[in-house]
A and B are shown apart, each in its own frame.
Chain A
Amino acid sequence: MDNTIDAQNVLMRVQQLTVEFPIQSTKIFSLGKQNFQALSNVSFEIRQGVTLGIVGESGSGKTTLARTLAGLIEPTVGSVSIAKNITPTRDIQFVFQDSLAALNPRMTVEQLILEPLDYQLPKMDVQQRQQKLKQSMEQVGLDYAQRQRYAHEFSGGQCQRIGIARAMITEPEILICDEPVSALDVSVRAQVINLLKDLQSQHGLTLIFIAHDLSLVRFISDEIIVLYRGRIVEQGHTEQVFNHPGHPYTRALIEVEPRPDPEFERQRVPVPIRSQNELEISELACVYVGRCKNRQSKCTQRQPEQRVLSDKQNVACFYPLKYPK
């Protein structure tokens, strides 16, 4: 990660990011190491105060992308640059999906929330720290009187609030939320989402929000990125992408969302999942070609570059979907 961005408003710039993981070979004698590409050639920018949603199915690389942005995974190729005034360890914080497991079971809430300060501002006196703790616990809707309890004594939603308080204690610029509510029930989910929105408006936070729940992402984000097998297939302004998806995969994702309309659900045409012959297609082909209904010969020959569909939308497809004006 390097602090090189000088441009106005841009907090983070990701350029040609590729992340590979080694595959453990099951054979005793294997020739060379094999790698799995979790992310290939991902590029985008994050502007200050914006909420960026990242969507995609399981295994599409959402979590790898989030962790790379947080500096928890080293990129194999490419770079993540951040604005000059940003200190990564303090200004980029992370909220995890499994809220209870992400909290050390041997630490009290007070220790959990204040720990980043121990290391970053060791000179802060006890009174200031308690003040800060009280403020941050109340901000996320926790009772300051419960600061001596351990994480396992709280409910899932409260654990996620602890996780958020902990992330906010260093007053970060960017908050990366990796499926922060997918383990919570629907009513608690709404509370946590609203909390994140409130924090954003109070502190001018930039949010990176990962979820597989599309309606949630549509609600919370200004811009979205659609990932498919480690590649960005579409990115742009949320409403534009949702109303006029350019990539057939984006449309499929939107269409599989259940709707509270039994009539519609009864007539639903199932969307194809990964087809068998996907494996036989050459590595050069478009990643989506195996499932694509609109594929043509060009699609099996090379991977489409991202292209501008409008000033609000980019798509990586040779034949983007068209809509009547």
Chain B
Amino acid sequence: MVTYFFRRLLGAIPTIFLIILISFFLIRLAPGGPFDFDRTLAPEIQANLNAQYHLDKPVYVQFGYYFLDIVQGDFGPSFQYKNYTVTELIVQGFPVSLQLGLSAMLLALLIGVAAGMFAAYKQNTRLDHLVMTLSMTGISIPNFVVAPLLILIFAIGVSLLPAGGWNNGAIQNQILPIITLALPLIAYIARISRSSMIEVLRMPYIRTAYSKGLPSFYIVTRHALKPTLLPVISYLGPAIAGLITGSVVVEQIYGIPGLGRYFIQGALNRDYTLVMGVVVFYGILIIALNLIVDLLYGWLDPQIRLHGRSNVR
């Protein structure tokens, strides 16, 4: 288990290097630069600024400087938010995004798995069809449509909840963004857990459980739940990536000071270091969470516990 963990950590290094390499050159391919303002700067000041941030050097030299910094854990200064380093901005924005993302994930798991298992238990009845129709709707509607709709209904229509803003994380400010983030996840998880549970319920050992005289609810929770969760868990990796990209849009719409908003602002302003910092940070985050997902697998299914390379086919 421990060797497996460290092997995976080592394996992550080339992945992260590629993320840095590709995104570094991609952002520099975009037209314009961080110091193109509406009013033109004096050429000397422009030259000074460029020299200060090594922007006058060839791109591969810039990459060298940047890479040396990042290896030492330094994401560099932000080009736009003066007097802030990128690390400071991440530390400021990430807790907000994390809180939203985690709440949405938990909500989606609870409702999605429950709805999926319920639909599977009632397979091919009207209730099953209803749950599946709703989830198809949830998958089809993009979050940039859901968010304004929710604002229209709950903020403007019945004025129960604020239309946006963070308000230091007050609960009523969080409800709409969390729902917006969670909806497509709920829908996906419901579909995955439904089909997984249908398969599990047909297993011979479920019949054995019935023959032991155990009641249905006990069988579903004790025998069917864990194997049903396996495909859901493996979906969590992509789901986290989806949450992060989703939060970029959702934070922008609701005006939430999370990392996603810094990311969009950074991209628009050609704030090279900020964009790079967020990309690398998210990259590491996704790799780490995927590793956790894989470790969870072993707990759910003793047959795929990771003892290193197996000699059994």
Docked Cα-Cα span, A136 to B83, in Å, equals 74
Partner of A101, one of B204, B210, B218, B301: B204
> By the criterion CB–CB under 8 Å, are A96 and B204 in contact?
yes
Docked Cα-Cα span, A103 to B211, in Å, equals 12
B213-256: CB near A (< 8 Å → 1, else 0) gives 11100100001001100000000000000000000000000000
Q: A residues within 8 A CB of B209?
A: 104, 115
A228 at the binding interface (Cβ < 8 Å): no
Partner of A150, one of B205, B213, B303: B303
A119 (CB) vs chain B CBs: closest residue: B214
Q: How many residues of A contact B (CB 8 A)?
A: 24
A89 at the binding interface (Cβ < 8 Å): yes
Docked Cα-Cα span, A33 to B215, in Å, equals 30
Q: Which of B71-100 contact A (CB under 8 A)?
A: none
> By the criterion CB–CB under 8 Å, are A98 and B204 in contact?
yes
> By the criterion CB–CB under 8 Å, are B205 and A104 in contact?
yes
> By the criterion CB–CB under 8 Å, are B213 and A119 in contact?
yes
Q: A residues within 8 A CB of B303?
A: 105, 150, 152
Docked Cα-Cα span, A163 to B226, in Å, equals 22
Docked Cα-Cα span, A170 to B227, in Å, equals 27
B212 at the binding interface (Cβ < 8 Å): yes
Q: A residues within 8 A CB of B204?
A: 96, 98, 101-102
- Residue among B207, B211, B215 having the largest count of chain A Cβ atoms under 10 Å: B211
Q: B residues within 8 A CB of A116?
A: 212-214
Q: Which of A39-72 contact B (CB under 8 A)?
A: 70, 72
Tell me the smallest distance from the CB of B299 to a CB of chain A, in Å: 10
Q: Which of A72-101 contact B (CB under 8 A)?
A: 72, 88-90, 93-94, 96, 98, 101
> By the criterion CB–CB under 8 Å, are A88 and B213 in contact?
yes
B134 at the binding interface (Cβ < 8 Å): no
Q: B residues within 8 A CB of A98?
A: 204
A165-178: CB near B (< 8 Å → 1, else 0) gives 01000100000000
Docked Cα-Cα span, A116 to B208, in Å, equals 11
A106 at the binding interface (Cβ < 8 Å): yes
A120 at the binding interface (Cβ < 8 Å): yes
A152 (CB) vs chain B CBs: closest residue: B303
Docked Cα-Cα span, A165 to B302, in Å, equals 22
Docked Cα-Cα span, A103 to B203, in Å, equals 10
Q: B residues within 8 A CB of A90?
A: 213
Docked Cα-Cα span, A287 to B153, in Å, equals 67
Q: A residues within 8 A CB of B226?
A: 106
Q: Which of B32-60 contact A (CB under 8 A)?
A: none
Q: A119-B218, A150-B302 are in contact. Are A106 and B213 (CB under 8 A)?
A: no
A103 (CB) vs chain B CBs: closest residue: B205
> By the criterion CB–CB under 8 Å, are A106 and B207 in contact?
no
> By the criterion CB–CB under 8 Å, are B213 and A72 in contact?
no
Tell me the smallest distance from the CB of A146 to a CB of chain B, in Å: 15
> By the criterion CB–CB under 8 Å, are B223 and A70 in contact?
no
Docked Cα-Cα span, A152 to B312, in Å, equals 12
Tell me the smallest distance from the CB of A180 to a CB of chain B, in Å: 13
> By the criterion CB–CB under 8 Å, are B212 and A106 in contact?
no
Q: A88-B213, A115-B214, A119-B213 are in contact. Are A105 and B302 (CB under 8 A)?
A: yes
Q: A residues within 8 A CB of B223?
A: 104
Tell me the smallest distance from the CB of B306 to a CB of chain A, in Å: 15
A150 (CB) vs chain B CBs: closest residue: B302
Tell me the smallest distance from the CB of B204 to a CB of chain A, in Å: 4
> By the criterion CB–CB under 8 Å, are A101 and B214 in contact?
no
What are 16 A-to-B residue pairs whose CB atoms are below 8 Å?
A70-B211, A72-B211, A89-B212, A94-B211, A96-B211, A101-B205, A102-B205, A102-B208, A105-B302, A115-B209, A115-B212, A116-B212, A116-B213, A116-B214, A119-B212, A170-B213
Going nearest first, the 7 A-B pairs with the smallest beta carbon separation are A89-B213, A94-B211, A101-B204, A104-B205, A102-B208, A116-B212, A102-B204
Known: A96-B207, A102-B207, A163-B208. 7 other contacts (CB 8 A): A72-B210, A88-B213, A104-B223, A105-B205, A116-B212, A119-B214, A120-B213
